[in-house]
Structure formats: structure tokens, C-alpha cells
């Protein structure tokens, strides 16, 4: 099984340039982050994989053994090892049932693994199967989505693909960031500094030129425009296993031209041509709940016709009594950002 992109050296080395440290053991990349040299968190994104015929109990035991083996490699002030388990379920109910069983297995195996209420990776997504033809992919969309793709193209919306080696890269990246700031203000979301996205784009060009053991990684900025005005943009990551819709944004003008639909369809076609096996929309609400604040995002992403995927999220193995104080503070911080600050930004 190919590594998930979060486990690739490409992605982990990128994270090292933005506040993390990396160590590796038995083919697994581990990221560590220090908080003012007081304590550290160790994080394993989407690893280790569960073997095909491995029992749930054996898998949890193996995670406990792995934790013990790598403790000596972690900073001495590490308070916990956080896992995002790479387990894919078809429904939220199946996922929730697994989380319940894992609590029981933790007691049985004496592996002190705890479900964290704050997930690092988006636990819910939808995947498009890129082995299908373009006609099949179009046919799999909801009628309105297919219409919107064609409507945007018919009304002269144009999409350009930009890499860090493109002639107008700096201008295009600034345009993307301007759109992203508009989206952040409108939808009450946070964003990284411009340098974060620029570094990611530059690393994409470097990866395509290198002989990376994980394989090449392509990072592309797609921008939809009309009559010279940029309207919507996304950043994608392609490798041989998967294509990921990492970041997306749109302006407030000419939204009736449906630029967000055409920009996605352009990226999907390019991902298929590149050879990626799936297109991962990377993050959405778990169900079609009209009361969810991101219900619109759920409708947009699921309308392209992909299969829903639900992961169990983040789990912690405490390594210090300080972990429990940190856990309380982390939950409070998450509540502030998701409930209070988002409401303030969204006004």
C-alpha cells in the first residue's frame, strides 16, 4: 500500500520548515512540535497502516508496542504521542462503532489510547475514482453540478494552472492569497501566511525535478477568471496514489458564473491525466445536516459524485501527567476558534 501523502517525506519535510521536527522509525514519519521549550507533542499522521487480515486487538497492541519503541527518539518533554489512524469507513455509524470498540480494546489490551476531541486531519471526505472515464465522472455528478461546469465554460470562465516555475507565479500567488483572505473573512476560517503557500508551491517544482524515494509530488494552483478578473482558486497535490484538494477560495464577485465548479473539474481532469488513482476533496461535515455551519461545503463536495469516507480521527497515548492539563486547554482553544472567533469573523 502506498503511503498517504501526510506520511510522505515531501509533506513532512514541508512541515519541518513550518515549526515541526521530523524523526522516522520503521518506515513511519513522526512529527514533533515544541511549545516554548516547556513541552512537546509527537504526532503520527495516518500511520501505521492496519494489515489486511490483522484483528482490531492485534492492531491496537501493535500501536502500543510502536509507542514504546519510539519513546527514546522523542524529545524528553514529550507529553503525548498523537495518532491519526489510517482507517477508512463508509458511514459515520461504522466509524463511530469502531471508536466505541477501540475504547473497550484499550481496556482489554491495557494500551492507554484515548480519543481526542480535537482532530488534526479532516476525518470526513469524499473520494472520486479516477479510473473512470471523463464521461463517467461527469455522469456521476449531480445534474446541477454538471450544468454548472458547462455553464461556467460557456460563459467564458477560464482556468489556468500555475506552478512555482510559471512566468507570473508571484502575481498569481498574490491573487490566490487575496481571494483566500476574502474567503476567510466571509466564512470565518483561519489561514496561513503567504510564505506557507509559496514554500509549498516551490517544493512542488523541486519534487518534480528530484528522484524522491516516495515518488514525485506535483503542487498546482488553479485560478478561474473571467475577463481578466480572478474569481476562484484552489491548490492541489498530485502523486501516483492520490490527488488532494488542499486549499480553496473564492471572491464575492461573479459567483453566478460558477467558477468554483469549473476550477474543480479542471483539476479532476488533470489529476486523472497525471495518473492519480483518486481525487480526495479532503474535509467536509460527516452528514447532510442542514444545521451544520459548513453544510454548504458538504453539498458542494458531495455533488461531484464521489464515495464518502469517514476516518476515526485523532487518538492520544499520554506520556506525561501534563498531558491532561494540555488536553483541557486544547479543548478550550478549539471551542474558542470554532464557536466564538468564527462567529466574530463571520459577522
Confidence tier at 329 by pLDDT (50, 70, 90): confident
Split at pLDDT 50, 70, 90, the class of 37 is confident
Question: Bigger pLDDT: 63 or 341?
Answer: 63
pLDDT confidence of residue 345: 44
Question: Which pLDDT value is given to residue 41?
Answer: 96
Cis peptide before 48 (omega within 30 of 0): yes
Report the chain's mean pLDDT, rounded to a whole number.
94
pTM: predicted TM-score of the whole model, two decimal places: 0.94
pLDDT at position 5 over 80: yes
Tell me the percentage of the chain whose pLDDT exceeds 90.
88
CA distance 302 to 144: 12
3-state secondary structure of 96: helix
Confidence (pLDDT) at 1: 52
Q: Is the pLDDT of residue 341 over 60?
A: no
For residue 14, the surrounding DSSP H or E stretch is: helix 9-16
pLDDT at 135 over 80: yes
pLDDT for the residue numbered 323: 95
Q: What is the mean pLDDT of residues 96-107?
A: 95
pLDDT mean over 97-121 = 94
pLDDT at 215: 83
Count the neighbouring beta carbons within 10 Å of the beta carbon of residue 206. Answer: 14
| CA–CA–CA angle 189, 340, 34 (5° rounding) | 70
More confident residue, 214 or 259: 259
180, pLDDT greater than 50:
yes
CA distance 228 to 313: 42
Backbone angles phi, psi at 10, to 5 degrees: -55, -50
Amino acid at each position: 500500500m502506498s503511503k498517504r501523502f501526510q506520511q510522505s517525506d515531501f509533506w513532512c519535510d514541508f512541515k519541518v520548515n513550518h515549526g515541526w521536527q521530523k524523526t522516522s522509525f520503521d518506515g513511519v514519519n513522526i512529527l514533533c512540535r515544541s511549545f516554548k521549550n516547556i513541552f512537546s507533542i509527537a504526532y503520527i499522521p495516518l500511520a501505521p497502516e492496519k494489515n489486511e487480515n490483522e484483528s482490531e486487538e492485534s492492531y491496537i497492541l501493535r500501536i502500543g508496542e510502536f509507542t514504546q519503541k519510539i519513546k527514546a527518539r522523542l524529545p524528553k518533554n514529550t507529553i503525548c504521542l498523537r495518532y491519526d489512524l489510517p482507517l477508512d469507513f463508509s458511514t459515520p455509524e461504522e466509524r463511530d462503532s469502531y471508536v466505541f470498540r477501540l475504547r473497550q480494546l484499550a481496556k482489554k489490551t491495557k494500551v492507554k489510547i484515548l480519543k481526542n476531541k480535537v482532530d488534526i486531519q479532516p476525518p470526513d471526505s469524499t473520494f472520486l475514482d479516477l479510473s473512470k472515464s471523463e464521461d463517467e465522472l461527469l455522469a456521476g455528478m449531480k445534474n446541477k453540478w454538471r450544468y454548472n461546469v458547462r455553464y461556467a465554460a460557456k460563459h467564458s470562465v477560464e482556468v489556468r494552472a500555475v506552478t512555482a516555475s510559471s512566468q507570473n507565479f508571484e502575481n498569481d500567488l498574490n491573487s490566490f492569497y487575496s481571494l483566500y483572505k476574502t474567503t476567510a473573512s466571509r466564512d470565518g476560517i483561519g489561514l496561513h501566511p503567504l510564505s506557507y503557500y509559496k514554500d509549498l508551491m516551490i517544493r512542488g517544482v523541486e519534487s518534480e525535478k528530484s528522484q524522491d524515494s516516495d515518488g514525485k509530488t506535483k503542487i498546482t494552483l488553479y485560478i478561474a477568471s473571467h475577463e481578466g478578473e480572478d474569481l476562484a482558486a484552489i491548490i492541489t497535490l498530485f502523486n501516483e496514489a492520490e490527488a488532494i484538494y488542499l486549499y480553496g477560495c473564492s471572491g464575492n464577485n461573479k459567483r453566478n458564473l460558477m467558477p468554483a465548479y469549473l476550477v474543480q473539474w479542471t483539476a479532476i481532469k488533470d489529476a486523472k491525466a497525471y495518473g492519480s488513482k483518486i481525487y480526495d476533496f479532503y474535509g467536509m461535515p460527516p452528514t447532510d445536516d442542514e444545521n451544520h455551519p459548513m453544510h454548504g461545503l458538504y453539498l458542494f463536495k458531495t455533488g461531484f459524485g464521489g464515495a464518502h469516507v469517514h476516518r476515526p480521527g485523532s487518538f492520544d497515548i499520554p506520556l506525561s501527567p501534563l498531558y491532561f492539563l494540555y488536553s483541557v486547554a486544547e479543548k478550550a482553544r478549539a471551542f474558542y476558534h470554532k464557536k466564538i472567533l468564527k462567529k466574530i469573523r463571520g459577522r
